[in-house]
Amino acid sequence: MGFLDHSTSNIIVDAVITDVGRQFLARNDGSFSIVKFALADDEVDYSMIQKFGRVVGKEKIEKNTPVFEAQSTAGLALKYRCVSLSNPNLIRMPNMSITGEGLDSTATALSMTVNSNNATRQLTFTQSVIGESSVDVELRDQQFLVKIQNQFVQIVGAAPDYVDRDGIAYYTLVRSPTTTAAGGSILAFTVALKSITDTQFSIYGTSSDKTKINIVASITGMQSGTVKNFTINISK
């Protein structure tokens, strides 16, 4: 859902069903039921507040921010969700770090190789918060949404909730029973390459090297809304 025009006193709202919603609706078995909604601030540039101060920056955001139209592609809609919290003194949101086999020095790219020991990788995601001693209990993620290209990669021991029309698989994973010293959530899982043919490399390989396929994966904390993106570099 998005606003088409808010320049006048008339507010026009555009609402569409996403591609995933259409799949559920098409079942026509009574299972499609809207029970909740979420809000997001994908368009907002909060650096305006840092640059102009809270009062002027807030005014610039309210008056000058273009609002996206409704997206029917679920993977593009609501990337940065808003959350409701009861703690009025909360000033910092948690972030997410990634560790594991095959990561580069910046922990933003994962290397995998077909038909080798590097065709599977174990990854661990942990919550932390800068400038605070602990993660607020309301922001401790109990579940995570993992989005990954279904054509090339899978999560070992888990089945996707669904696969959208762009071939992105959506997995809902539960956090580990233990937490970090700061009370942050921990999530560990293993990713594995699927069987990738030479034809797929020739089609989806990079323009400079047809022996490499680069895809983007993301993980979102369901309670905190924290998003972590990383690249998977697949080689022959």
Q: What is the pLDDT of residues 13-50, one digit of tens each?
A: 777 777 778 888 888 888 788 887 778 888 888 888 88
In which band, very low, low, confident or very high, does the pLDDT at 199 lie, cut at 50, 70 and 90?
Answer: very high
Degrees, nearest 5: CA angle 158-162-168:
95
DSSP class of residue 68?
A: P
Residue 15 has phi, psi (to 5 degrees) of: -125, 130
Which 3 state secondary structure label does DSSP give 142? coil
What's the pLDDT tens digit per position in 137-195? 999 999 999 999 999 999 999 999 988 888 999 999 999 999 999 999 999 999 999 99
Which 3 state secondary structure label does DSSP give 51? helix
Q: Are strands 227-235 and 109-113 parallel, antiparallel or unpaired?
A: parallel
- Spatial strand order of the sheet with 109-113 comes to 109-113, 227-235, 212-221, 143-149, 168-174, 162-163
Over pLDDT 70: what percentage of the chain?
Answer: 93
Contact 200, 150 (CB under 8 A): no
Q: Report the distance separating Cα 50 and Cα 30, nearest Å.
A: 48
Q: What is the pLDDT of residue 2?
A: 61
